[in-house]
Structures are given as C-alpha cells and as structure tokens.
Structure 1
Amino acid sequence: MTWVFGEFRLDPEQFQLSRSGEPVQAEPQVLSLLIHLIRHRNRMVTKEDLVDAVWGGRAVSDASISSRIRSARQAVDDDGVRQAVIRTVHGCGFRFVADVGSVPASVVGAPDDRTAVHPVGRPSIAILPFQPLGLSPDLAVLGEAIPHEIIEALSRLRWLAVIARGSSFRFHQPTPDLDAVATALAARYVLSGIIEAQNRTVAVTLELTDTNSREVLWADRLVARLGEIDDLRARIVVHLVSALEMHIPFHEAQIAQLNGPEGLDAWANYHLGLRHLYRFTASNTALAQACFTRAITADPRFARAHAGLSFTSFLDAFLRQGPDPAGAARASRRHAERSLELDALDPFANFTMGRSYWLTNQPEVAADWLARATTLNPNYAQGFYASAFTAMIAGDAPATMAGLDTSLHLSPLDPLLYGVHGVRAQILLQQEDYQAAADWADRAATAPRAHYLIAMIALAANGLAGRDNQATRWRHEALRLKPDATANDFFAAFPTRDALSRKKIAAELSRNGF
C-alpha cells in the first residue's frame, strides 16, 4: 500500500518518497519519521513514540528530534510556520494533518523483491568461511575453524535459525555472491569475515549483512598476538553472540514497525514486542504484551511469545505497574510454565521461570532455573545477571560478583545494564562499602531505561555514603518516575536476607520520605 498526499507518494515497503513521480532525497531517519507519523495520523505522536520508532529507544536530544522534524517538513514542502503537513502540539508531540489517501503498490509500480521487506518466520543466518589473507598453512585453517565454532555457539539460540556448516561452507570463494547465498540457503542474514596476519598479530574482521537490503548492519575488527589465538577465538564467539542478540532483533523490529501491524507473522510480532519490552514503562509494557498476544494468536505453540508474556507480567509485578501485583506474579509463573511446556530447552523460557520465583521470594528455586538457562546458553548475559541478582538476595557476595562480571563481559551494552550496576551497588551495601556502593548506584541510575527502584538504590547508597545532595537528587528522580513509590515497593522487589543492610536502607528511605 502506498500513501498519497498532495503531490507526494510515500511507499513504506520500498522505503521511498516521491513528488510528481520524481524521487525525493531524504535520510533514512526522516523517512522512518514520516512513515510513523502517517501510520499514526489519527492521533498525536509523542516524542517518546518517535524516539522508539526512529532511534530504537536510544537516548537522543530534543535538538535531534527537532532537526529530523525540520528535515521531514522540508522533504514534503512544509515548514514550521505553515505546518500544513506536520503540526507541532507544543510540549506534547506531533501530528500528520495533511489529507492522506492510499493506493495498492501495483498502481505505482511493483516493489523490487529485494527492498519489499516482509520478514516471515524465525530469522535465519548463514555463517560463511572467513577469507584468509597472508596466513601460513597452519593458520589458514582458522578461516573454517572459527566460523564452525560460531555456528556451534549460535545453534544454542532458539530465536535464530543457523544454516548448517555443510551448506554454508559451500560458499568459500573470496567474494561470495549474496544473491546466490540468499537464494540457495534461504538466509535472511549472512556473516562473513576476513582473517589476516601481519606484524606477529592476527586480525579478524566481521561483517553482518541483511541479504534483502544488502545493508551492513554491524561490523567489527578484533586483533590478537599470534600467541593468543585461542583467546581470540573465544573472544570472537562471545563478542559475536552479544552483537547478534542486539542487532538482529532490533533490525527485525524496525522492519516490522515500518510495515505496520497488519499481516505480521508470529516472529515479527515477537521482535516488535521485544522492542517495547525493554523500555520499562507501563505503556510500553502494555504494548509489548499486545505484540506477544498477537504472536500467540498467529501461532499458539510459539514458546518464546509465551515467555514474553511472562516477562511483561513480571514487570507489572516487579515495578508495581498495575493494580494487582499478586495477580501479575501468578500470570508470570503461568506464562513461563506454558513456554516451558512448549520448549523446555529455550534459555529464555527458563530465564522467565526463574525470575517468576523472585516475585514469591524463593531465590533458591530461582537459582536452579537460571542456572539451567545459562547451561543451555553459556553466552546468555541476562541469565548471568539474573543469577547474580538471586545470589545478592541470598547474600552470597562471591557468586554475585562473578555473575555480574560474566554478564558485563558478555554484553557490555545490555538493556538491563542498569540492573547489573544496581545489583553490584546492593551487594556492596551489604558489605558496608558505602562509597563504592554509591559510585555504582550512580552509574546504575544514569544508565538508559533505569526505573524508579534504581533511583531508590542510588538514594540509599548515597545517603549511607554521606552524599546528601546526591541522595536528594535521586529522591526527586524516584518520585518523578513513580510519585507513589514506597519503601514497601522497594523491599518487595529486593527481599534481601541481610538484616543489617535492610535496616539501614529502610532508615535512609524513611529519612527521605518513603
């Protein structure tokens, strides 16, 4: 479907804006912004909505948003004075106000198969042999050995279909034909690489490509000395798994959001749900829940979507987002159980089951499920974080620190980074190292997506460290995020067994009005 307004046509599938039949040059973010505004033209679109749709929820300034709005207006011959196409609702958001009609895509020309993006089913990836450059025969074998290890590691990811080595290694020519790879292997993504030796070092360059758009989604280069090959091989696998966990779901969600909710399959709805899930607000939790529900409607036996519903119910209970935390806790357990019935080997299903036991103050049971999750996927950063959280509740400092260090090593930019730092702050509070606890709590509370409970950790840690001004700052932030926050909310989320630290934290919260 193509939208028509005035002299302009905007095709969200071809990702193209034209005027009187001539293409209009516009940056991808500008086109994404226009598509989102038109798709939601029956309501006001908030700045938060735009940040989520266009920037993937990353922190951006008001100036960046204003710049893209200005560019979008220029692209459709509008300006901030007339506002005949895009209207600013001061202090709130924006609306697309021009009259919009629609015509089938066939009326304006059939879309190119390569750019008409409708992701169907589980994402798939082909790992190609790496091209060796200047390697001795004993090192050239790494061109196949490292991709083989990557295939073994990725095969543990239940959300990603990995093409078997026997098929993908047929494409071993120096410059593989992506069209041939995509056609022969039905791979939505391709990982290729170059491995080279120079000056007693070995360097591996990795590149992840979308076979549909030919867009390079991610690339990186890792270097090690010749004597550190084994360490390099391990680092590549860990680094790559973390990168794919971040970039492919984000890309899948971006495509799904551009295409709109109509006709999306179960996997597309699932990835769109993940995008909302990690914003940690009541409204986005509700949107994530709706996406996972649509995924289950499309495929009732989709285990990951049931685990997603467990996650949303967990957030309702943990963050006190809804009116019935106890009911949400029961729903979190129920959905996790259903997910495990459908796929007992999915690490995400085991993760959500483990976290459901946080809500009923059973850390020993939670620990068993979370250990199962990290056994099923040894590169599961959030699983190690959740295990560390569970150890912190029980007061096991060595296990807490080990789990946090592993999680941070596996995923240094994880959406739950605020939680990783917050758990470290809390175990340091139990050890009465208040200065270090305050430092880590500040890092947690300033991390993206940090919620009101993290601000309360920072308040308590800074108060106990004697940093009263900083404690006051975090008190205001906690109340801004949740005006009715209470000390009971805090201890319901963090039922730590260490009586002395609980008493001191409670005193600090009380001193600040909680």
Structure 2
Amino acid sequence: MDYSYFFDHFELRANERLLLREGETVNLGPRTFDFLMCLVSNHTRVLSKDELLQTVWPGMVVEENNLTVQTSALRKLLGSQAISTVTGRGYQFSLPVRRTEVSSKPTVQKHSTIAVLPFKVLGEQTDLRFLAEGLLEDVIALLARVPGFLVISQASTQIFDHSSVALPEIAEQLQVQFVVLGSIRRVDEIIRVNVQLAEAQTGQVLWNSRFECSPASSADLQEEIARGLLSELEPALTKAEIAQIRRQRPNNLDAWAHYHEATGALAQLGWSEAGLRNARHQLENSIEIDSSFGLAHAHLALLTALSRNIGLLPHSDAVLASGLTAANTAIELDAGNSEVMGYAGCALCDLGQTRQGLITLKAALQLNPSNAQAQVAHGAALVLMNELEGGIAQMRLGMRISPKDRRLGFWLWILSCFLLRANRPEEALEEAIKAIQHDTRFHLAHVAQAAALDKLGNTPLAQQALIQARTLRPALSVEEIAISHGKKIAARMALMWQT
C-alpha cells in the first residue's frame, strides 16, 4: 500500500516521489527526497547515521557530512524545528505527521526525468577531456530549458564518471526515466561525438546520432556541438515521452501528458488541419486539468492565431478574443518562462497586437537568447513593422539555432511569403522548396511555390504546385489563399484553378 504524509503545510507523496507545499510542487533532488522520505516515514523514532547512510546511499561509501548538508537544506525548506539532532544517536523528524493510504494505481509524472551522464573520452587527449566536461554542462543547461522535462543536476550525474555501475542501477539511484550517453574521440583531424538517448530501466536505445567537427571550423566548438546535439535530441526525447505516456496510462493523462500529446499531433500530422485541430484539442484538455499551466495557454494562443491566419479557423471576433485571452493569460501566469513569452508574443503579433507582441518577444529573448521560436517570431514581427532585411536576417538566425526543428517547414513558408511580398520571387521559390523538403504534407508551402513560379512566368510548373496543394488539402479554396497569401496571389491562383 502507498501512503501520503501530511505535516505543517506540506504533503509528501511516496509513490509519486513528490513534495507539495500548499498544493504546489517543491523540486527536490533524488537524494534529498530519499532523505526526507526516510525521516518522515520513521518519524516515531530516532534514525542512526548508519541507517540513514545505508538507506539514502545504498551500496555507496559517502562521508557523514552528506547528512549535515541534507539536514541543513531541509531545515531551510521546512523550518528549523523540522528535524532534531539527537546527540550521539542520530536524527528524528520532529513535526506532527499524519499518514493517509492512497491508491497504488500507476500515475504519470508531472515532469519526465532525464539524466545526462558524463561523456566518455576515448583517448588521452587533455583538450578532449575539457570539451567533454564543458559539453556535459552545456547539454544539461540546454535540456533544462525544454518544457516538460526535469533534468538531474550535473553534481548528481558526475559521480558516475568512470563508473561501472549498470544503467538500471543508475536509473534507480537517480530516479530517472531517460538517460543521455555520449563519447568523444579524435579521428585524424576530426572530433567525433557519439550520443544516445536510452530508456533508463531497460537500456533500450531510442535514438542515436553522430556529430563531427573540425577544431578549426568554429570559434566556439563546444557550443556548436551542444546546439547541434540538442536540435536532434529534443524531438527524439519528446517522441519517447509520448510513447511512454501512452504505454503507462493512455486513458487518464495529466496536464503535461496532454501537452506532449499536442506536440506529438503536430509532429505526426504536420501543419495540417487535422494536426492543428488535434493539437488545440489536447492543449484545451491540458488547461482543463490545470488552469494555471501557462505554457499550455501560450501554445493554444499561438495555434489559434496561426489556424485563423491560414484559414483553418474563421476570422471571427470570437476566435480573435479567445486567442488574445489565452495569450494574455499565459503572460500573467508565467512571464518568467521564455517559451511562454515566445509563444504568447508570436500569437499577439499574429492577432494584430504587433507592438505588444514585440515587447513580449523581446522579453522571451532576454530570458533565453537561444529560443529559436522567439527569434523567428521576432524577426517576422520586424518584417511586419517594415524592417524587411533586419527581420529576415533574424528569422534566419532562429533557423540556424535549431536546424532540425519540427517547425522549420512552417517558418520557411512564412519567410517565402515575406519574400513574395517584397517581389523577390527567386528567393521566395528557394525558401518554399526548402519548406516542402522539411514538411511534404504542408499544403501552403506548395501554394507559395506556385505563387513564386507564377511570378517567374513558369505557368505549367505553377499549376502543378497548385494541384499538389489541393491534393494535400482537398478543401482548399481561393478564399483561404487570400487569407494566407493575400488577395493578389489568390486572384492569380484563381486563374489557373480549373486548368
């Protein structure tokens, strides 16, 4: 039987490994949680130092000062009277505790947990050891910005450097679902980094990739590798999370699970009517479960705005109001989150609130300059403010930051549209073709291709591109094209509609 323990303003859920303070999650490291759990579950007696060490650090040789460190941290959190030191005997939890039985049915964690293990250096080169240490730090820092995932700190994973501990044991000790493993070696004049994403308990490899760089090719090799790695790792991790959610509890998902289902719908179905509709539905489910979930509000605002602006939702006052409400709610709930501000700022711009949207996007980039979505959206907003060259340059910067982003097809289509408006059909055609290569299912990229070919005087190929767009979306109309590409392009497409 599983239990929840209540003391002061806190609830400690044993089966979920979760501490709540007045209903809000308190982030604890795995060892700190185990230490607190041991004290609270045995609150009626004094626990010796040896018993605590063996329980919290099983099979490991650690110094007794670890107990002092953990006790000090918990006293700061729970109050100085929460834990008593009994001289010569050990420690005892001092607050009144109430224990309640809870259902033992499995639950989906609010955050999926992941650990990045130290990168192995294959060889004796000192410079590679420095690179491995820096890369570990960078990847952890970048992963920590991915919404929905709790990343174990480097201090906790560093102990497994040069360790022979099996992966399931590491998973048990760190209480993680996924691990990132990597190695670095020099092959002639090339530095090669191999990386894997694996299920922690089983060791099953879910994704692997290899990155190669020449030390002379970049002024900041470490950052280049870290960003390249994350651009591939993030979608692989999200896909693995969605698969695990569906295996564990397909009919009873929490707010984060619905959020991941929304991103999964876009990844699986692309920027299609079905993909956007399913994603919005999952985000609405997420908000229904947790109305304070700022990221879900922000993402819903953006998808509502995008759907409206490409003709998949009506240009009605009700749709406009719902998008603006979701964006402003997100900002009120979580203005310190770069992803929230990036999505909300883009939504505001797309819904006609360009100046407010620009302010919000600047805030997103101040929080995290590596936010590719915010970079692209800020660039697009600048174009709308008649700063064409600067805006396009910033959009391309955002795409370079995340070169394998699942949103790249959509971003390239927007760039193509801007270039069409600027009467630069050759460049517009190039970006439209890139958009199609990144997402062959996205019908509007084919419309942009048709418009560019038409401006270049290649009517037969323009007609073929339009046919492909209509094949991908049979319900496509001239009116939709007017909404997404403007009335002039729509009029040209109408001329070849029946041919």
- Give TM-score, length-normalised by structure 2: 0.70
Which residue number corresponds to residue 402 of structure 2? Answer: 411
Q: What is the RMSD of the two structures over their aligned residues, measured on CA atoms?
A: 3.0
Which residue number corresponds to residue 144 of structure 2? Answer: 155
Which residue number corresponds to residue 121 of structure 2? Answer: 132
For 2:226 and 2:209, the matched residues in 1 are separated by: 13
In the alignment, is the contact (CA less than 8 A) between 1:329 and 1:356 conserved in 2?
no
In the alignment, is the contact (CA less than 8 A) between 2:122 and 2:184 conserved in 1?
yes
Give yes or no for the alignment of 1:224 onto 2:224.
no
Which residue number corresponds to residue 322 of structure 1? Answer: 313
Which residue number corresponds to residue 446 of structure 2? Answer: 455
Write the deviation string for residues 204-231 of structure 1: whole angstroms up to 9, x where unpaired. Answer: 2222212134222222222333445753
Which residue number corresponds to residue 508 of structure 1? Answer: 492
Matched ranges for 1:257-268 at <5 A: 257-259=246-248, 261-268=250-257
In the alignment, is the contact (CA less than 8 A) between 1:206 and 1:220 conserved in 2?
yes
Shift of 1:233: 0.5
Give yes or no for the alignment of 1:143 onto 2:127.
no
Shift of 1:379: 2.8
For 1:221 and 1:117, the matched residues in 2 are separated by: 36
Which residue number corresponds to residue 499 of structure 1? Answer: none
Cα separation, partners in 2 of 1:390 and 1:324, compared to 1, 3 Å: closer
- Structure 1's unaligned 5+ residue stretches are 1-115, 495-501
Shift of 1:371: 3.1
Which residue number corresponds to residue 425 of structure 2? Answer: 434
Shift of 1:482: 5.4
Which residue number corresponds to residue 399 of structure 1? Answer: 390
Of the three residues 477, 480, 487, the one matched with 1:485 is 477
Of the three residues 296, 301, 308, the one matched with 1:310 is 301
| Greater Cα offset, 152-161 or 455-464 | 152-161
Write the deviation string for residues 425-470 of structure 1: whole angstroms up to 9, x where unpaired. Answer: 2343344332332233234345426544433322221110011012
In the alignment, is the contact (CA less than 8 A) between 2:435 and 2:445 conserved in 1?
yes
- Structure 2's unaligned 5+ residue stretches are 1-104
For 1:454 and 1:229, the matched residues in 2 are separated by: 33
| Greater Cα offset, 466-475 or 431-440 | 431-440
For 2:374 and 2:465, the matched residues in 1 are separated by: 28
Which residue number corresponds to residue 26 of structure 2? Answer: none
Which residue number corresponds to residue 169 of structure 2? Answer: 180
Cα separation, partners in 2 of 1:451 and 1:198, compared to 1, 3 Å: closer
**Secondary structure of the structure 2 residue equivalent to 1:170:** helix
Cα separation, partners in 2 of 1:286 and 1:503, compared to 1, 3 Å: closer
% same residue: 24
Which residue number corresponds to residue 191 of structure 1? Answer: 180
| Amino acid in structure 1 at the alignment position of 2:477 | A
Write the deviation string for residues 406-442 of structure 1: whole angstroms up to 9, x where unpaired. Answer: 2332333333222232233234334433233223323
Give yes or no for the alignment of 1:299 onto 2:290.
yes
**Secondary structure of the structure 2 residue equivalent to 1:423:** helix
For 2:404 and 2:318, the matched residues in 1 are separated by: 32
For 1:323 and 1:503, the matched residues in 2 are separated by: 17
- Give TM-score, length-normalised by structure 1: 0.68
In the alignment, is the contact (CA less than 8 A) between 1:135 and 1:196 conserved in 2?
no
Larger Rg: 1 or 2? 2
Shift of 1:401: 3.2
For 1:492 and 1:366, the matched residues in 2 are separated by: 21
| Greater Cα offset, 451-460 or 261-270 | 451-460
Of the three residues 224, 227, 232, the one matched with 1:235 is 224
For 2:454 and 2:108, the matched residues in 1 are separated by: 50
Cα separation, partners in 2 of 1:506 and 1:396, compared to 1, 3 Å: farther
Which residue number corresponds to residue 464 of structure 1? Answer: 455
Shift of 1:117: 9.2
Which residue number corresponds to residue 246 of structure 1? Answer: 235
Of the three residues 238, 243, 256, the one matched with 2:245 is 256
Cα separation, partners in 2 of 1:324 and 1:199, compared to 1, 3 Å: closer
In the alignment, is the contact (CA less than 8 A) between 2:239 and 2:264 conserved in 1?
yes
For 2:478 and 2:249, the matched residues in 1 are separated by: 39
| Amino acid in structure 2 at the alignment position of 1:231 | D
Cα separation, partners in 2 of 1:389 and 1:411, compared to 1, 3 Å: same
Which residue number corresponds to residue 353 of structure 1? Answer: 344
Shift of 1:510: 5.0
**Secondary structure of the structure 1 residue equivalent to 2:220:** helix
**Secondary structure of the structure 1 residue equivalent to 2:118:** coil
For 1:297 and 1:212, the matched residues in 2 are separated by: 32
For 1:207 and 1:132, the matched residues in 2 are separated by: 15
Shift of 1:328: 2.0
Task: Name the count of aligned residue pairs.
Answer: 391
In the alignment, is the contact (CA less than 8 A) between 2:482 and 2:489 conserved in 1?
no
